[in-house]
Chain A
Amino acid sequence: MTEKTHYDLVVIGGGPGGYVAAIRASQLGLKTAVVERENLGGICLNWGCIPTKALLRAAEIYHLAANADQFGISIGKLDFDLEKLIKRSREVAATLSAGISHLMKKNKIAVFMASGKLAGKSGENWRVELDKGDALTARAVILATGARAKHLPNITPDGKQIVTYRDAMTPKTLPKSLLIIGSGAIGMEFASFYHDIGVEVSVVEAAPRILPVEDADISTMAAEAFSARGINLHTDAKLEKLTAEKGKVEAQITEKGKSQNLTAERAILAVGIEANVEGLGLEESGIKLERGHVITDANAQTNIKGIYAIGDMAGAPWLAHKASHEGIIAAEHIAGNHPDGGGAHGMKPQDVPSCTYCRPQIASVGLTEESARAGGRKIRVGKFPFLANGKALAQGESSGMIKTIFDAKTGELLGAHMIGAEVTELIHGYVIARQCEATEAELMASIFPHPTLSEAMHESVLDAFDRGIHF
């Protein structure tokens, strides 16, 4: 084993947390290396956010084409080529991953395609051993190894009939019927995609409602929309057993106290994620974990000085943009930079927006109505349906709603929850408002362009203060 070279910072993991941290560190003058075991860009770019968006876009086009008649357009018989559809999704991921390589080069970041692990200190520096036999030393280390699909006890995905996200986004053939276990963002996106391209879909959710982390009103509207499309939703349903036989999977569930069996050709497990914390030398280094996640402080630093952890491995919410933001916080802290106007600030989980790209889309930031009311806080709630928005009607996307929640006393925007067309592209308006600490007054005084879906954002704020114009 040779001491290959010394860095100011070594980042283990080249996903949206790690590569962003590396770029920021390099901008701040740190000599930086990234250790990545598989693909630059991580799950997000290769097996998550990006390729699934490519699939969902195909499903959306197919859905629009199938309903072109309502716009006065005749298309005739529709068909799709699954292989081509999947190929495009993989190409998009490959293009982006190549882009990350270029960014590393441009920022003079050394990339080691290997698995890395912490291997104690050498003087003042941390040693990072690579499985290829080399070792790096660094003043600081950022752990950014992400997470993997969580498995349920006694259920082992076989990659054919019982699968997780990775196989679910590269099917060779389409099943006739599909069982999806878990109704979070991943589960509902697959439900939406597969159903749109003609698969019979059933969703099993243990919580009393689908998309359980979203606001209850939004969750209810989503359930109505999915049910209306013909997706079978089983909520308050505990999965007792999931077995694969020849040609079918069978699930035994207890739904609202009643036992029943569901069968389908295939099943996707989407019950959450598990942090990749094994084989990194965490225990030997004395790094504290809690419920499988590394514990970090406001600077993303672990209990051991000089070792940072970001993204999925450091806890919920498990979102790429949260990982990137933490990466910037960590890099700036390592560089000794006080975050300024362009920097990242201490992150609060409720400031992380969440987006689900099913049809209809769902997006939210901040507190749900239920959590906003907790502790007896007086709030004002505004709602505006897309039904009353001109652009939504013209688009043929009139089902949707925007809900805003304000503190009645201070006018603080506590939360915003949206369901409907393109809401994932709208939510940032409220994210910025919250970051700038705008109150209802600034939102009301802002001019929203007509005709756009964003007008519904304005109207929702107006409605919260009984000043709605169009509804």
Chain B
Amino acid sequence: MPIVMMPALSPTMTEGKLAKWLVKEGDSVASGDVIAEIETDKATMEVEALDEGKVASILVRAGSEGIAVGTAIAEILGEGEESEVGKETTPAPKPAPQESAPKEVAKPAPAPTPKPAPAPETSTRIFASPLARRIAADKGLDLRQIQGSGPHGRIIKADVEGGHTAPVTAPTTTSTDGDSTLIPITATRKVIASRLQESMQTAPHFYINMDIALDALLDARKAVNQGQDDGAKITVNDMLIKCAAAALMRIPEVNTSWEVTGEGEAIRQWHHADIAVAVAAESGLVTPIVWQADQKSLTKISAEMRELIAKAQDGKLKLNEFSGGSFTISNLGMFGVSSFTAVINPPHGAILAIGAGREMAVAKNGALEIATMMTATLSCDHRVIDGAVGAKWMAAFKEIVETPMLAFI
């Protein structure tokens, strides 16, 4: 099969970004060589050549986004094979280049859309023996992280039993050697490492903090939760999601992403507040998304968050539940943290870091009063958001939190 297709990272993935080509036209490749890297919002995957041959043509430029699963991305020809590109049977390979001028673009986010069609299995097929699959499942091993030692790289029993074959790139088992212990990284950790490193290296961060009185919000919460079962009670965090969504609708310049397309760089302004919420799961940080939080009732946001947190902790989030979004909230208040700065979750333009609510003496109209205060810190990507815009957003957020009714108008 000389045509290389856009692979699916997960059964629900419908499109992705061609992050990088590792080969160029005319290069010879062997079966198993990594030829490209594909990205979705949460993960990067390597594409391997399935057969040996020459890279006849690269059909999708590096950096192209929104490439549908199954799209032809390159053609690799074996000896004596003829190009199929341009024949009627192949899908039109080159996607229209992205416009660089600002333009209303339909939102490509997966959003709460109906189930996407299952992606073709061939592109992400893992070659593993039935026995190896079963042992890996028993042990909770991710076959994608394992290098096969069987015929044509097939993963066999010996590879998952931690027998003779060492993984090529990283340790898969914990090993203690003298004074230290080498702990293999999980797939989640790998994603966190590469994305946040990329964020700090490419997005110029600046921080704005503000002290916000919580009393009105706490009073409102008390009223809303009156008579509710514990399981259905709305949390402070749920309310802050709603407040942030309202603030994003007021100051849409913050509801934005910096995008690098094949044609250059652009700012994407989102029409809805799709708020990713940082959740500490056992395997590491995940950010499930409350889609269109600006449109949703507090009860709905609360119910969704409960479900998303449970799924995150069980490791059962689906790709479309944690990839994408327009803004992030990270709340470490429950640990008593007074304030902190967060790393922007790319491609978002900003992230809001919430500290603990604390009773403090505040001077008000020349008198001391007791108020419950929290410090919120907004990290902004200066490529997208200027200082004044960030400050305006913080002021709006503060106003809404201190007068929660404003979130509902």
Interface residues of A (CB under 8 A from B): 339-341, 343, 345, 409-412, 436-439, 441-442
Q: Are A409 and B130 in contact (CB under 8 A)?
A: no
Indicate with 1 or 0, residue by residue over B127-153, a CB within 8 angstroms of chain A CB atoms.
Answer: 001111011001000000000001110
Cα-based distance from A465 to B368 in the complex (angstroms): 77
Q: Are B130 and A439 in contact (CB under 8 A)?
A: yes
Given contacts A437-B130, A437-B157, A442-B130, contact A410 B135 (CB under 8 A): yes
Q: Are B157 and A412 in contact (CB under 8 A)?
A: yes
Given contacts A409-B138, A410-B135, contact A341 B152 (CB under 8 A): yes
A344 to chain B, nearest CB (A): 11
A345 to chain B, nearest CB (A): 8
B381 to chain A, nearest CB (A): 48
Query: Given the complex, which residues of A lie within 8 Å of B152, measured CB to CB?
Result: 340-341
Residue of chain B at shortest CB distance from A442: B130
Interface residues of B (CB under 8 A from A): 129-132, 134-135, 138, 150-152, 156-157
Q: Are B138 and A438 in contact (CB under 8 A)?
A: no
Given contacts A410-B135, A410-B138, A442-B130, contact A437 B156 (CB under 8 A): yes
B156 to chain A, nearest CB (A): 6
Cα-based distance from A441 to B150 in the complex (angstroms): 21
Q: Are B151 and A410 in contact (CB under 8 A)?
A: no
| Most chain A CB within a 10 A radius of its CB, from B134, B138, B152 | B134
Cα-based distance from A278 to B305 in the complex (angstroms): 79
Query: Given the complex, which residues of A lie within 8 Å of B150, measured CB to CB?
Result: 345
| Most chain B CB within a 10 A radius of its CB, from A345, A410, A438, A439 | A410
B219 to chain A, nearest CB (A): 57
Residue of chain A at shortest CB distance from B135: A410
Given contacts A409-B138, A410-B138, A412-B157, contact A438 B131 (CB under 8 A): yes
Residue of chain A at shortest CB distance from B164: A346
Cα-based distance from A364 to B129 in the complex (angstroms): 22
Query: Given the complex, which residues of B lie within 8 Å of A439, measured CB to CB?
Result: 130-131, 134
Instruction: Indicate which residue in A340, A411, A412, A441 contacts B151 across the interface (CB closer than 8 Å).
Output: A340
A-B residue pairs, 7 tightest by C-beta: A437-B129, A437-B131, A341-B151, A439-B130, A412-B131, A341-B152, A442-B130
Given contacts A340-B152, A341-B151, A341-B152, contact A411 B138 (CB under 8 A): no
Cα-based distance from A341 to B156 in the complex (angstroms): 13
Instruction: Indicate which residue in A339, A340, A436 contacts B129 across the interface (CB closer than 8 Å).
Output: A436
Residue of chain B at shortest CB distance from A412: B131
B151 to chain A, nearest CB (A): 4
Residue of chain A at shortest CB distance from B149: A345
A349 to chain B, nearest CB (A): 16
Query: Given the complex, which residues of B lie within 8 Å of A437, measured CB to CB?
Result: 129-132, 156-157
Cα-based distance from A439 to B137 in the complex (angstroms): 14
Cα-based distance from A345 to B154 in the complex (angstroms): 13
- A sample of 8 cross-chain residue pairs with beta-carbon separation below 8 angstroms, ordered by A number, consists of A340-B151, A341-B152, A345-B151, A410-B134, A436-B130, A437-B129, A437-B130, A442-B130
Query: Given the complex, which residues of B lie within 8 Å of A412, measured CB to CB?
Result: 131, 157
Query: Given the complex, which residues of B lie within 8 Å of A410, measured CB to CB?
Result: 131, 134-135, 138
B336 to chain A, nearest CB (A): 45
| Most chain A CB within a 10 A radius of its CB, from B130, B138, B151, B152 | B130
B259 to chain A, nearest CB (A): 43
| Most chain B CB within a 10 A radius of its CB, from A343, A411, A437 | A437
Given contacts A410-B135, A412-B157, contact A438 B130 (CB under 8 A): yes
8 A-B pairs besides A412-B131, A412-B157, A437-B156 with CB distance below 8 A are A341-B151, A411-B131, A436-B129, A437-B129, A437-B157, A438-B129, A438-B130, A442-B130
A80 to chain B, nearest CB (A): 48
B76 to chain A, nearest CB (A): 19
Cα-based distance from A340 to B152 in the complex (angstroms): 6
Cα-based distance from A344 to B151 in the complex (angstroms): 10
Cα-based distance from A442 to B134 in the complex (angstroms): 12
Cα-based distance from A343 to B152 in the complex (angstroms): 11
B70 to chain A, nearest CB (A): 27
Residue of chain A at shortest CB distance from B129: A437
Residue of chain A at shortest CB distance from B151: A341
B52 to chain A, nearest CB (A): 12
Query: Given the complex, which residues of A lie within 8 Å of B135, measured CB to CB?
Result: 410
Cα-based distance from A442 to B129 in the complex (angstroms): 11
Cα-based distance from A439 to B128 in the complex (angstroms): 12
Cα-based distance from A341 to B131 in the complex (angstroms): 18
Cα-based distance from A412 to B156 in the complex (angstroms): 12
Cα-based distance from A470 to B58 in the complex (angstroms): 58
B153 to chain A, nearest CB (A): 10
A232 to chain B, nearest CB (A): 44
Cα-based distance from A412 to B135 in the complex (angstroms): 10
Residue of chain B at shortest CB distance from A441: B130
Query: Given the complex, which residues of B lie within 8 Å of A345, measured CB to CB?
Result: 150-151
A442 to chain B, nearest CB (A): 5
Query: Given the complex, which residues of A lie within 8 Å of B129, measured CB to CB?
Result: 436-438
Cα-based distance from A437 to B127 in the complex (angstroms): 12
